[in-house]
Structure 1
């Protein structure tokens, strides 16, 4: 609905049964209001066309009411970025921010060098109340840069236990650990884990899960394990690496539908049948992409709507200082079997 400048806080109070003072606190100090009340008031505000003046509020409080988030948009290597699921994350993140009277500032980048330039350019001009970084790396330089500016920071990626910032991540360790045990239980004896060469922390947790699973099952099983690192931005080189893997292995764990697509093509050319003499486990935030491949596959699903909501909530808590202590939120992958039609 279009903005209606004649609508006031009193109109929203009458529509919701909430006192004008509480409605005012929803827009000025949402950190001290229950989330249920915020949701009711914001829904009524949207329906009536009310738009609070964040600029005036910023002048009164000295805050920007902006929360920034950096996201990769490099489409060349679909498993190097969050792919189509990043739009689910953006929508959920923006919605939760707006419901708490914050604006989302999206900072896209297509490479590590551009990422650093975008960050520096933004911080030179703007001072957000909180900042969310994604694709967290070991000794990530962005953290120090944000700490210099005393900007509360949230990471999409599980930092170490001594971290002073809120973190959110999926349980990448458990995903690979469970996939290995599942394949061994199904009688597979030559298992490959195909992962990107990049140094993101979620890949490191996956590698640790792969290593620990091997130690767990090898004492009672003679299965062979292969770790295959590929350059996901180079399809030709990746296909060359995967050719031998598909020929020799009877099970593959991988990190994206893009890689599964290549595995399928190689399997067809080598007269191997996915779901029979070759099993595939894949992590994805977009099961529909795997369904389009029309092959039976074990899918480990990541809910990026939930990721967006959680990251926004952690950022709001960081911006308002309403959280006691550091939060590290880890949620499991959801397992599902996708069958060919």
Structure 2
């Protein structure tokens, strides 16, 4: 049997040689259905790409670098749960293309910058995906300076457009705060990530906007910033409970922080749902198993991470950044009944 070629696959499928070639290299310009059809025929005919030769001809590595932040603190075990799901989604998006995923562990921004320099200068990958965008993010500036394709999990304040997938943190924080304001809460705490993160600013903006709309003055003592860990949740609860005018509700940036708040509240004898209402934001749905389970503003991490991979392929194919930007709105999952603030009446 003759060796399968692009021409024989084109003859078998009825598509042009150019379309077949683009489909076999995973080009985003070819519709997903067409790409899958052509790749299925190629597999049936036994088509094999000589990747070593292809890399030499194209001067490409056919690898996507994914930067994974690894905390130096071994106690911060929550990170691994989320990154595993993110990597699975990216990997699924790359299936059927010629690209493979390479994971680079980084401890902090200087480490990330060193790693990016190696990736770009040594040709270790053709594109980069990373999360946790910062104000004036040096990683973004470096990659833009070198015209190197990348996609971020999170928006940025860069003046140059780039590919990203983001969760609408501002809208989620606004909705959660407005919900509590309607229930009569006037002392609402926000347990937020470090202030240098873009989405921390977005969350605080949404929170403050809802308070202002409800005629409630903003009290900075009710805003607690820290790493997105259960330990931060515990520390924030302890600090908030020391206030002379304690909060009656608390909005947490993720489920790890929420778990810390619940644990500290239980130890202090504070009843969640009566003495303190807690709302979470996250994409793992682990909060359904918390005691008590909290209401959560949920974004499916599978969709988010899959889009990261899809947008990376499009960026590599030269797509306009406006075609590779998406902000995903969260869905409220109610696990607790609406609880009005004690001694106050819900607003209409």
Q: What TM-score, normalized to structure 2?
A: 0.81
The reply on whether 1:142 has 2:157 as its aligned counterpart is no
The offset of 1:270, in angstroms, is: 2.8
Residues 1:240 and 1:138: Cα distance change in structure 2 (over 3 Å): closer
Question: Does residue 1:112 correspond to 2:109, yes or no?
Answer: yes
Aligned positions of 1:1-341 closer than 5 A: 17=13, 19=15, 21=17, 22-28=19-25, 30-42=27-39, 51-74=48-71, 76-77=75-76, 81=79, 83-126=80-123, 128-160=125-157, 162-218=159-215, 226-232=222-228, 235=231, 239-246=234-241, 248-287=246-285, 289-323=286-320, 325=322, 327-338=324-335
How many residue pairs end up in the alignment?
A: 329
Contact 2:67 2:106 in 1 (8 A): yes
Q: Is the 8 A contact 1:188 1:223 kept in 2?
A: no
Change (3 A) 1:244 1:32: closer
- The answer to whether the 8 Å contact 2:119/2:125 transfers is no
Whether contact under 8 Å (1:252, 1:281) holds in the other structure is: yes
Question: Who is 2:341 aligned against?
Answer: none
- The answer on whether the counterparts of 2:118 and 2:124 sit within 8 Å (CA) in structure 1 is no
Distance (Å, rounded) in 2 between the aligned partners of 1:292 and 1:196: 23
What CA RMSD, in Å, does the superposition of the two structures yield over aligned residues? 3.2
- Answer yes or no: is the 8 Å Cα contact 1:189–1:223 preserved in 2: no
1:75-124 per-position Cα deviation (integer Å, ceiling 9, x unaligned):
64467x5x412222211212222323222222222333332232233333
Q: Distance in 2 between matches of 1:240 and 1:308?
A: 30
CA distance in 2 between counterparts of 1:174 and 1:227 reads 17
- CA change 1:96–1:141 in 2 (3 A) is same
The equivalent residue for 1:3 is: none
Secondary structure of the 2:185 match is: coil
Unaligned runs of 5+ in 1: 1-5
Cα distance in 1 between the residues matched to 2:184 and 2:45 = 61
Q: Could you say if the C-alpha distance between residues 285 and 43 of structure 1 is closer, same or farther in structure 2, counting changes exceeding 3 Å? A: farther
Ranges in structure 2 where 5+ consecutive residues have no aligned partner:
338-348
- Render the CA deviation track for 1:274-333: whole Å, top value 9, x for unaligned: 12232111111211x212223131111122211122112222122111337564311111
Change (3 A) 1:161 1:238: closer
